[in-house]
Structure 1
Amino acid sequence: MTILVTGCAGFIGSNFVHGWLAAHDEPVINLDKLTYAGNLSNLARVQDDKRHIFVKGDIGDRELVGRLLSEHQPRAVLNFAAESHVDRSILGPGEFIQTNVVGTFNLLEVVRAYWSELPEERKAGFRFLHVSTDEVYGTLEDTDPPFAETNAYQPNSPYSASKAASDHLVRAWHHTYGLPVLTTNCSNNYGPYHFPEKLIPLVIINALNGKPLPIYGDGMQIRDWLYVEDHCSAIRRVLEAGQLGETYNIGGWNEKANIDVVRTLCAILDELKPRDDGRSYAEQITYVKDRPGHDRRYAIDARKIERELGWKPAETFETGVRKTVKWYLANQEWVSNVQSGTYRDWISKNYAL
């Protein structure tokens, strides 16, 4: 038995591979295009593991995907592949449409052709699991209940709109063609191997390098934070026991304002890696112009997955973020390798620092 996983050189995907191989003997075929956020060093721990087969390629390459399906005969396809950064989607939405919408369409079509030819017993056991985001639901007011699976889609950025479109395609391929699909919508992930354009790794790295810690607007945007290993365990559970055609929201039950996240990171760094001058990293906090259409609050109601599948997160924000800071402190070589000149130019342009 084998699974085919797309986008596994990225942040969440690489963590999924590590967790999967630690818990299963079942091989993983890993298809990744290796865009700027796809990094083979994320997979260095498993590069010699015969259960992990890496293939460089695009989910939109129907010939390649079809060949992999035919050769390896996976029992499941898990789609992590996506352009995922809101700020980048504002500056260049075209790549998000191409990967998240057109790429998902092409992947669905090739998988549908493969699935339709399987013997009945294998056909009944096959799964297509699509990994998505809570941002498809839009934004919440302070007093609104968290997003449930029944919430209407109201995406507000090019990124979230492209993910919403991909979710709709997955749903349609189930209801129209009978493709056995599962969809997960997660809250903000954090943890090891997180590309340093996102808030938590950016703050850690900038703090250690004496740079400003950029905070959009007033810093009171609220997110629900989910430790990446918890997310991966939830995906494994959905793949194992999820009901076909269903959506499962995966959250950490950790709503935090961005400024509070940054202050927490600064306090942990003050303890674990004090500044040479003895002052707090919090002095490096710098408020910058808010981004266009910045959603004010996301929050996930994760009761369905707990009620139906018995899953809930193992980490609190306090335990997970401490693990994350320690990982970055212990993996400075990884940080240096991902900070290419192109990445630094983009940070400078986006935050006007």
Structure 2
Amino acid sequence: MSANRFGERFEILTFGESHGPGLGVVIDGCPAGVPWDAALLEREMARRRPGQAFGSGRAEPDRVEVLSGVFEGFTLGTPIALLTRNVDARSSDYEALRDAPRVGHADDVWLVKFGRSDPRGGGRSSGRETVARVMAGAVARMLVRCLEPRIAVLGYTSAIGPLALSDVDRTGAASMDEDRLEAFPARFPSPTRSEAIVELLDRAKTEGMSWGGTAEILVENPPAGLGQPVFHKLKADLASAMLSTGATAAVEIGSGSASARAEGTAFHDPRAGGKPYGGIRGGITTGERLRLSVSFKPTSSVRKFARSGRHDPCIVPRAIPVLCSMTWLVLADHLLWRRQDRV
């Protein structure tokens, strides 16, 4: 099996399975001298931790062990190895799946591809794999903070099933900081529809059903000039990062698919402030806010098909920290790449 690496200059290699001893990441390319922020790492892990409202019942403490690459509060410039151990795996829930792959999961296609698979919680195709991405994303965030301290990455739920943010809600969300967005149930920043989203997800969990949804990721204060003009356009690398996350179905940047129905004069009107482009033109950042929309399929483990296991009624709320982490990784990669663009 290959393709467990992501990134060019800031490269990560993730490892581990959902019900194995643990999951980890090796980060190569992080410069020496980055201040190590253990509190930030712990906070990022807490944001994606299972066992919270509307999420899987799996309760993992997700404590991070720093195995290498950090000494006396700073990165060394050598590979950084991070590990978190699994403590609440219930592998017996999946024993029957050896001969009956789950509907909508990747168990059967992994078996076709590799001839072997780990049926316990999906192995590496499980959402549990993303714990390694979040560890790496926290380190990327530490690096970006050194290089471009004004950059902020924000994420929120913009739709779950039939419920979506209004234009007023989306405008309001864009003015909130991370703490305010995190305070809303399901990370759905609507003061008027919080009860409705709670009711929708509670009912889904009780009835054993699931919903798809959409997350929005904003990058505030990006510098102009990030991204390469041909094969590593920033939008291409961001899309790759988002779509590498399990259960994603689509990524849109700026106006996205609505661009196909737009008339050119209105779309390119300078008075729009570049919003239709989503902060990227020619694959390179303009210095304006980046806006991405990421759509997710409904969770596969609905009661009609799933006989056992622990599952989320909607992936989106818990996926947001993962999407933010992947965004930090892409930004770190391109900020390091920028150093080579001119003398």
Same fold flag (TM > 0.5)? no
How does the TM-score come out when normalised to structure 1?
0.29
Decide which structure has greater helix share. 1
Q: Which has the higher contact order (CA 8 A, sep 6+)?
A: 2
